[in-house]
Amino acid sequence: MSRIRAFTMPKWGIEMTEGTVAEWMVREGDAFTRGQTLCLIETAKITNEVEAEYDATLRRILVSGGSEAEPVGALLAVFDEGQHSDDEIEAFIAAFVPAEGGVAQGAAKTKAAVPEPVGAAVGAPGRVRVPIETNRPISPEALRLAEEEGVDIAGIEGTGRQGRITHQDVIKALRGPARPTLKGRLAVPEDDPKVFASPLARRIAALHEIALSGVAGTGPRGRISKADVLALVPAPASSGSLAVPAFVAGENRPEIVPFDRIRKVVAQRLTQAKQEIPHFYLRLSARADVLLELRKSANLVLGCKASVNDWIVKACAMALVRHPEVNVQVHGTDIYRFPHADVSIAVAGPQGLVTPVVRQADRMRIDQLAAETRRLIDKAQGRGLGMEDMEGGTFSVSNLGMFGIENFDAIINPPQGAILAVGAAQRQPVEAAGGGVAFETRIALTLSLDHRAIDGAAGAQFLQTLKTLIEEPQGLFA
């Protein structure tokens, strides 16, 4: 059946209220098929590829790529499954009303993007925007700047994803290459072989343009020494050392890097969490020598590459099941307790920190957990995480030990009630049974807790169980 369809800002997850169209992969007027990628949409944490659910034609784009954020439910484009006229498309847009329920405030205020006339004045008076036709990947803002400034993008090497030319690349091309001003070689007078002087005295004399031919040396056999030359230096040298040339500070211009969307959301959420959640911290360290040895053997037997962090996540999951009062989410004045542990792991992705979730980690074998963690990390680093990978989570683990950080305090990831900060494994001296000194490997653990929902005693008992599981890792196979 032939009909006109509205393409609106999708809603991925309960907390999503708006999104940004990063880039359109289909041009206005092009036909597309089911499964073809239509556009990239950025949310608070992820960039998702939107695939077509049916065959149609993209008749009108109302929100161009790189525009401001639009609320959920806002009209982004119009698809045509038939051969409708332009008047019918315009009438459909004019009559469009966002669906009720789950639509962010302001969705009804969707505005059609008005294309700028080619050759019209843009910005400063007299500036003409010259259109650039290219098949190279380039961001909308970068293309706009290149057209306004008349930049030839053929010689620009894109630094974005898959060689995409970014706004910063165009700005760099506008500045041009650095051209340092060379002052030439330093003129040094030739040594007079008849002058009997020490090498240091000759260097000081050349620096201050002092002729040594008329200087009377006070050194052995009339040799001109450092002191003889310094006595002739015009600037006073009370300490008998070389005068230090004055330091002139050059320009220290900062590179302004505005927050991207993900960084803005992370900053907002962490600030809110630190201000509104009463954090308190519990610290201890656990012996890891047995765990490190068991890890090597288990990896060989199971044929996996489980990291130390995988074993810690497994230990946390099992400890959370034994202490459900820590395995919680806080929603207003309600505490949600969960029977299984969905552990969020902190991953540094290309666009900032993300926390994908390992579902029911307490029920996984260590090889299964390692495979799932690797899958999530690969998706995070390739910007392929979806909302299904991010939603939920009853507890978080943040590990900076691989960077040599001994210990740190992590900020709770709401609505979760706790997060574990893992430091580096370090060799430390301890008292041996016979009164001597021995060395063992210890890992520092810091537990951040939401005091509204979790008491200190409950957190301490959880940490004791976690410590036992790390120091006696055979229990992780129970």
Q: What is the pLDDT of residues 457-466, one digit of tens each?
A: 999 999 999 9
Q: Are 118 and 129 in contact (CB under 8 A)?
A: yes
Calpha distance 134→128 (Å, rounded): 19
The residue assigned the tokens 């409708």 is: 84
Lowest mean pLDDT among 191-200, 385-394, 425-434: 191-200
pLDDT at 119: 39
Average pLDDT over residues 95-122: 48
Element (H, E) at 79: strand 75-80
Q: What does the pLDDT look like over 329-372, one tens digit per residue? A: 999 999 999 999 999 999 987 767 889 999 999 999 999 999 99
42 — pLDDT class (breaks 50, 70, 90): confident
449 — pLDDT class (breaks 50, 70, 90): very high
Calpha distance 22→326 (Å, rounded): 39
pLDDT at 122: 39
pLDDT at 462: 97
Average pLDDT over residues 305-332: 95
pLDDT at 464: 97
Catalytic residue check, 451? yes
Element (H, E) at 145: helix 140-149
Residue 277 has pLDDT above 50, yes or no: yes
Please tell me whether the peptide bond between 258 and the residue prior to it is cis, using omega within 30 degrees of 0: no
> Per the residue annotation, which of 84, 279, 331, 451 is the catalytic one?
451
DSSP 153-164: GGG----SGGGP
Write down the pTM of the prediction: 0.56
Phi, psi dihedral angles at 121 (to 5 degrees): -70, 135
Q: Alpha helix locations (H) across 217-340?
A: 226-230, 261-276, 289-302, 308-322
Calpha distance 450→455 (Å, rounded): 8
Q: How many Cα atoms within 13 Å fall on the side-chain side of residue 236? A: 1
- Amino acid, res. 464: Q
Averaged pLDDT score across all residues of the chain: 84
More confident residue, 300 or 128: 300
